[in-house]
Chains A and B, each alone.
Chain A
């Protein structure tokens, strides 16, 4: 960031109607038409348990702040939320600012425009650096929580699937092991997933029951995916944590027994307030980590005033040519 002194800066445009901004999150449509019974899956009820044991959640968000002559500026923020018997505590780290420089390789640059259109104005390289940075910060918070929470449930946003360069299996394994050594259990919740069974998204399983339940789909998922390089470090479930809630993909540390997994989900269902079937601590962590448009403007102001960077909004060719028809959710 220090190297940017005196350069120009094209700030990200922030629309009045664009309230919540989080470049790191993408949702997908769910198909609820599939029939799970036909695949021989069994449904186990979740028995909500009121328990004073700590429930802790964490989440992290990243957002593009703007473009410089030599790259892009991003902000990352991570949040940890503790549910205690009488109150909820949070710690928020950030925003932390990063300047990701463009590749020096000219041959990469000529494809940049094409790639940018696909990945929210970010080149593949920039996107990977950003993803890695965000994952790094998020995993760091998870490590801190795994090491400090005793006998509790650690809720994280996402899954326990690892084994990619951006998400190395060794680090996730270490978090799971640390939590285990503190008698805690790691539960990962996904609002959306790309996991499919028989060509159908796992969250499209039949939802005709009115009681909290979970379906273990680990054998099916593992059967459909090769063992390498992607590794499932947790047991994969489709779970409904409240009678009136939605279905979520839930990954629970594979070293934990079936009973421990059910007990952990029972504690979450019974202790954490369930909003549409989603744990309240994780919801708060998400809300507190997400960047608002106001915060993006504030960061832009900070960058401009503290690094003496001139704000210089470049006209968007796409918007100029197509007006309101030229924007999509992929265009930053």
Chain B
């Protein structure tokens, strides 16, 4: 390979056909006289505009039809011409400088010699791990195993995005299992019920993972008295859109029942029905309390899911899956509202240092105001969220700007690529070039986990019942 030219933070290299190079590869341009090297990443591959190539191709086209013949080429120059025709131009982004001691410096204020520099492939795995103690194997790059330091996911906001069927949930599961193996408490909001068998291998054998699956009427049961006024009022206001006037009446009734020690959903409904208030307020309260009753989430208030039980399930590396499959939009919103309320209580009380929340298609159940909450308040109390979505425009722009790690699978739609280009962890040019046309299960890693060195990875297969594959009719 040879340096062709440099423009801004891009450097263009000429690569001959026998030189292996693909999009995403890291190369080191070593200048022997300066004893340092420029670390660059290939973001695009084009044909080199070799002079006369058009004429050569036109001449080849002429021989495709009624022209046939033979070349008596004793020196086999035609193979050299073919090599020139296939010569590629590698467009590379400058990522930093590798110093004499092998360290990475962000400095890019120099350029290597065009004549004496040597260009070679540079494995960045060592730079990415940087001596980390918790290697999380995400997959392979060009046959080499790629590990990221799980600590890079700690305290962060993560996004996994890509087209349907490209491997997002697969990566989320791989991360979940690895995080739990490092003792991290994990909670999954599972819209499609595809995380419920993570503790079983493909052939049905149980795995070492600690998994608890909860669903309405299957362990997911709450008691009003345990939830408290703040969480219950939050559910009515945020999930069921109770007007502010009715909320005030509700608070009064709640305190009355609490004083009497009779705080159950049926007694609450009964009290509201006989409470002296405007009919419209009563009607508003009754209709919403009826929804709570029919949700099945308060079917046995004598044996509710408590903070202690949640804590027990996830503490020391357990995975708690909240199965939202086959639940209505309203029930999902109620459930998530309650669950996030309970988690906030646990984390605010310092019963748990932190927890990792994996939220699939969060726009289906997360209210508007929670997006900001997750980015700001919940991060500070130790709830670190990973959003998984195939509709990048459903995630608010602020989330992209503040995301610490982004895992991007294939996109072909311009609008989608435009949306994810807002990620602050990389330039839009890199994302645009690398994401387009990458195969299924190949992922672009951005952010802290790769020390801001964008990296392509073929995600590792999993020996678990993933149940995330699309159900097909013709197979």
Contact = CB atoms under 8 A, between A and B. Distances in A.
A294 B50 contact: yes
Contacts of A90: 63, 67-70
B73 A94 contact: yes
Interface stretch (B74-82, B303-311, B416-424): B74-82
Contacts of B53: 294
Interface string B330-348: 0000000000000000000
Majority secondary structure, B binding face: mixed
B84 interface: yes
Nearest to A297: B84
A232 interface: no
Given A295-B77, A297-B84, A20 B69 contact: no
Contacts of B62: 284, 287
A88 interface: yes
A305 B292 CA distance: 80
A298 B80 contact: yes
Contact of A301 (B49, B59, B80, B85): B80
Nearest to B85: A294
Contacts of B75: 95-97, 302, 306
Given A95-B75, A302-B75, A14 B52 contact: yes
Interface string B67-107: 11111111101001101110000000000000000000000
B368 interface: no
A89 interface: yes
A294 B52 contact: yes
A96 B62 CA distance: 23
Given A294-B84, A298-B84, A91 B77 contact: no
Contacts of A306: 75
B81 A295 contact: yes
B56 interface: yes
Contact of B80 (A18, A81, A302): A302
Contacts of A293: 50-52, 55
Interface string A6-38: 000000001110111100000000000000000
A95 B77 contact: yes
A298 B81 contact: yes
A88 B67 contact: yes
B56 A295 contact: yes
B193 to A, nearest CB: 59
Nearest to B51: A293
B51 A91 contact: no
Nearest to A79: B69
Contacts of B66: 86-88
A253 B85 CA distance: 43
A288 B55 CA distance: 11
B473 to A, nearest CB: 51
B56 A15 contact: no
Top-7 shortest CB links A-B: A293-B52, A90-B69, A298-B80, A292-B52, A293-B51, A294-B52, A298-B81
30 contacts: A14-B52, A16-B51, A18-B51, A18-B52, A19-B54, A20-B55, A87-B67, A88-B66, A90-B63, A90-B67, A90-B69, A91-B72, A92-B71, A94-B74, A95-B77, A284-B62, A292-B52, A293-B51, A293-B52, A294-B52, A294-B55, A294-B85, A297-B50, A297-B52, A299-B77, A301-B80, A301-B84, A302-B75, A302-B77, A302-B80
